[in-house]
Amino acid sequence: MIITPVTKQDHSELIAIWEASVRATHHFLNNADIESLRPLILNQYFDAVTLQCARNEQGTILGFCGVAENNLEMLFIHPDHFGKGAGKALCRHAIQKMGVTSVDVNEQNPKATDFYKHMGFVITGRSAMDGQGNPFPLLHMALG
């Protein structure tokens, strides 16, 4: 597995990975929520972060992360590759090479919270709403 920068040409593959990952892990979102987020992710959020992806030996993207201002803004792995090291590799890369010190996690996604705790983050706070003002609480985490 290698970590590489993302190009604009990768964005269509990344949004497919994002959607597959969200559908597998964000059970609190309904189809309308996902449909409304997709264009925001693709047309705004990807451009607001530095994106890196994990690729296998054949060059297939397994997952990706996005970082802005030392915050891990996004980390999504295709469900076919859950538990196989891509998330850990991307998170380690984000911390060691991109200066990540914090992450916000949906409270309703306990597996993600456990993952970040395993990676060395601790909960430092909570917000009742997500970044779009929706009632999906966020846990604020920082490296411990």
Per-residue pLDDT tens over the stretch 87-142: 999 999 999 999 999 999 999 999 999 999 999 999 999 999 888 788 889 999 99
CB of 64 closer than 8 Å to CB of 76: yes
Per-residue pLDDT tens digits for 33-76: 889 889 999 999 999 999 999 999 999 999 999 999 999 999 99
pTM of the full structure: 0.92
Looking at per-residue confidence, does 77 or 144 come out higher? 77
List, as one string, the DSSP characters of the chain. -EEEE--GGGHHHHHHHHHHHHHHH-TTS-HHHHHHHHHHIIIIIGGGSEEEEEE-TT--EEEEEEEETTEEEEEEE-GGGTTSSHHHHHHHHHHHHH---EEEEETT-HHHHHHHHHTTEEEEEEESS-TTS-S--EEEEEE-
Q: What's the gap between Cα 43 and its chain centre?
A: 16
